[in-house]
Amino acid sequence: MLIGVLSTNASPGATTTAMALSSVWPSPVVVVDADPSGGDILAAAGPVVEADREHNLLELMRLGRQGQIPQVLDSQITTLPSGVPVVAGLAHPGQAGGVPWTDLAEGLRAVTHRDVLVDLGRWGVPYAPAPVVRACDLLLLVVRTQLRGLRRAQRILPLIREDLDRHNPGGGSLGLMVVNDHGPYAVADIVRSANLNVPVFGELPLDARTAAVFSEGATPGRHLDRSPLARALPTVVRTIGQLAQQQRALGTRAPLLRQQPMTPTPVPRQPVEVPAPGVQLREMARGTRRLTAVPSTPTGTENS
């Protein structure tokens, strides 16, 4: 299975989410860093593994040319202290233009001995790995429950959807991985009110301490497994795994990877609609207030 994790520039969390999910993945897995802006996955490894720069995405592409990516994948894996196996990414954005993303997409789709979670970075940046995005069985757009991130998601989701429909009709499934900022609204209400029109595949809590273990290589505390993020992971992983499996089984044909490059179509701007009761729209628009209004129907679980 090939599962892509994307972010937008107002809602970071792609790398951390991919790493966190993989840390409890129930079967062999690898996180491939395909962020065109340059990889930062080895930051979670500390200085020792940072030195191990010869195993990386470019080397995977070099050794795996002529359709050998599944066979050489394991030779490029670095195992982080957290136990998560990763393929380190590009050293800087200048390398992205030279990566044959279509070959990577086809190669990763052909991997059967591991599930692959691919960190796709921010959507829509120059030299983005569009063919890899199109090849995924499941695509997770990480979004935080804050107005800026929701607005950004609202603008790019139709573009991603349209690109997938054109290049992988009936293929990969697109949804949200919501990082919940603990406002009193239910995540589903927020997503619905922002007209995002995509399913929520999973919900993770805002938990900076545990997130830093995956993003910065911070030392895990003794009670890591009892942290909010760690406790949320198994359910999310189960759901994601099942959805991706269903999607792969349903996929009647491979995506049209060797079609035209992406040509984004301008999408009319839509107003962000937030739930009417109690929401201080003006304050939120000024950025002085987050989506934390009291809902008309309390959800019970969102504040815990």
What does the binding site for ligand ATP look like in residue numbers (CB under 6 A)?
7, 12-16, 35, 40, 121-122, 179, 204, 206-208, 211-212, 215, 229
Q: What residue number has its CB nearest to Mg ion?
A: 15
Q: Give the separation between CA 73 and CA 240, rounded to whole angstroms.
A: 23
Tokens in use for 241? 């795994």
Q: Which residues on neighbouring strands pair with residue 49, listed in sequence order?
A: none
Partner interacting with residue 151 (select from ligand ATP, Mg ion, none; CB below 5-8 Å by kind): none
Partner interacting with residue 208 (select from Mg ion, ligand ATP, none; CB below 5-8 Å by kind): ligand ATP
In the complex, what is the shortest distance from the CB of residue 96 to Mg ion, in angstroms, rounded to a whole number? 14
Q: Give the separation between CA 201 and CA 197, rounded to whole angstroms.
A: 13
Whichever of 29 and 179 has its CB closer to ligand ATP, that residue is: 179
In the complex, what is the shortest distance from the CB of residue 225 to ligand ATP, in angstroms, rounded to a whole number? 16
Partner interacting with residue 81 (select from Mg ion, ligand ATP, none; CB below 5-8 Å by kind): none
Q: In the set 11, 15, 76, 210, which binds Mg ion (CB under 5 A)?
A: 15
In the complex, what is the shortest distance from the CB of residue 294 to ligand ATP, in angstroms, rounded to a whole number? 23
Order of strands, edge to edge, in the sheet holding 78-79? 78-79, 85-87, 29-33, 115-122, 2-7, 138-144, 173-180, 200-205
In the complex, what is the shortest distance from the CB of residue 89 to Mg ion, in angstroms, rounded to a whole number? 9
Q: Give the separation between CA 154 and CA 157, rounded to whole angstroms.
A: 6
Partner interacting with residue 137 (select from Mg ion, ligand ATP, none; CB below 5-8 Å by kind): none
Q: Give the separation between CA 271 and CA 257, rounded to whole angstroms.
A: 34
Burial level of 169, CB count in 10 A (0-12/13-18/19+)?
A: exposed
Give the footprint of Mg ion on this chain (CB under 5 A).
15
